[in-house]
């Protein structure tokens, strides 16, 4: 559980800890109960509950994640992360994630990564 006075870095730490543990209720607790948005090369989502349900689908294929670097500037946090996912084989997907924190919770997440493997997988399905 996040303290009411959590710093932006602590909020993002808690988000990644919950994600790595596949604790999607804990992940949801890091997100704003007010305005929220998420944008990536494969999805745009306008509310936190939908995002938490969406990201929980990654849980079964997430082997691990490695935070390579985190930058904090006021209420904004940028994390460079390697997601190790296993679909048919282990793949490492480097990702940059820009978080905006409002009132101690994540109000916005913008994710940058090469989605070409994902698109090929969807085309085959």
Concatenated DSSP letters for the chain? Answer: ---TT--HHHHHHHHHHHHHTT-HHHHHHTB-SSS-EEE-SS-EE-SHHHHHHHHHTTGGGEEEEEEEEEEEETTEEEEEEEEEEESSSEEEEEEEEEEEEETTEEEEEEEE---HHHHHHHHH-
- The residues, any chain, with a CB within 8 Å of residue 52's CB and separated by 6 or more, are 24, 27, 28, 31
Structural domain spans, the chain: 8-124
What's the whole-number mean pLDDT along residues 15-21?
94
pLDDT of residue 118: 66
Contact between 12 and 77 (Cβ < 8 Å): yes
pLDDT of residue 18: 94
What dotted CATH number matches 8-124? 3.10.450.50
List, for residues 69-108, the tens digit of each pLDDT value: 999 999 999 999 999 987 777 888 899 999 999 999 999 9
Contact between 1 and 105 (Cβ < 8 Å): no
List, for residues 23-42, the tens digit of each pLDDT value: 999 999 999 999 999 999 98
Please state the pTM of the whole predicted model.
0.90
User: At residue 120, does pLDDT exceed 80?
Assistant: no
pLDDT of residue 23: 94
């Amino acid at each position: 559980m996040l303290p009411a006075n959590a710093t932006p870095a602590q909020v993002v730490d808690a988000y990644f800890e919950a994600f790595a543990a596949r604790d999607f209720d804990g992940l949801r607790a890091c997100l704003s109960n007010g305005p929220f948005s998420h944008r990536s090369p494969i999805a745009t989502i306008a509310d936190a509950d939908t995002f938490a349900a969406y990201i929980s689908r990654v849980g079964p294929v997430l082997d691990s994640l490695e935070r390579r670097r985190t930058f904090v500037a006021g209420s904004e946090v940028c994390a460079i992360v390697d997601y190790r996912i296993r679909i048919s084989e282990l793949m490492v997907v480097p990702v940059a994630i820009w978080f905006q924190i409002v009132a101690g919770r994540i109000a916005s997440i913008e994710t940058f990564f090469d989605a070409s493997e994902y698109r090929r997988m969807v085309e085959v399905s």
